[in-house]
Amino acid sequence: MQSHAQAVVIGGGVVGCSVLYHLTKAGWTDVLKSGDLSKHCHTKGNWILTKDGVVTLTPRPGERGWQRYDAYLWLKEEYKDFEVEFDYKVQKRGNSGFYFHVGDKKSPVAKGIEVQIYDSSGKKKGARLTDHDSGGVIPGIPPTKNTVKAAGEWNRFHIICKGRKVTIKLNGEVVNEISLDHARLKNRPDKGGIGFQDHGLPLSLRKFRIRSI
């Protein structure tokens, strides 16, 4: 198969297709692409990055609960305004969370904000949702709808945090739009660490990329 380079006109100038490609990718960090998890992350948990770009948490014997904060998968860089995309997969009754604006990684629950990751697929249509369902924001803000796929299937989050507004999409649908001035969130840090919770349960991630905006 032959490929042909094309030129694109932008603002009166001509930009080659390879340059345009890099412009569209500008600013994104593809966290798992390098094949080396330690390039962008740190953790003491049993997170293993495979050659196909999937990082899987398999808790070791005796690793239970969510209060082993150094076992979380933390990005090295801190963020304020950001856009992030990632796929996740949990098993039946699986539980984790995406943390952002964490001011103290030794106390992320009190010093950060969590977007819940949970196997909510078993809930009946119209059932009451809480902040502990996928797409809920902890503390205290449930998702507006349940768009979770069955346990064992890939789900996709797209989260934008800009200024004092956070928009959360799960599997292509907006499930939460919140203000960081909400009574439950206004005293949380407005910048900080980003990470995934080790809840002592299996979790897989892929197609994880992030950028400042």
Find out whether 162 and 38 touch, Cβ atoms under 8 Å: no
Q: Hey, CA dihedral for 120, 82, 76, 69, is it positive or negative?
A: negative
Q: Where are the domains of the chain?
A: 29-212
pLDDT tens, residue by residue, 31-80 = 999 899 999 999 999 999 999 999 999 999 999 999 999 999 999 999 99
CATH for the stretch 29-212: 2.60.120.560
- Residue 6: pLDDT band (50, 70, 90) is very low
pTM: 0.87
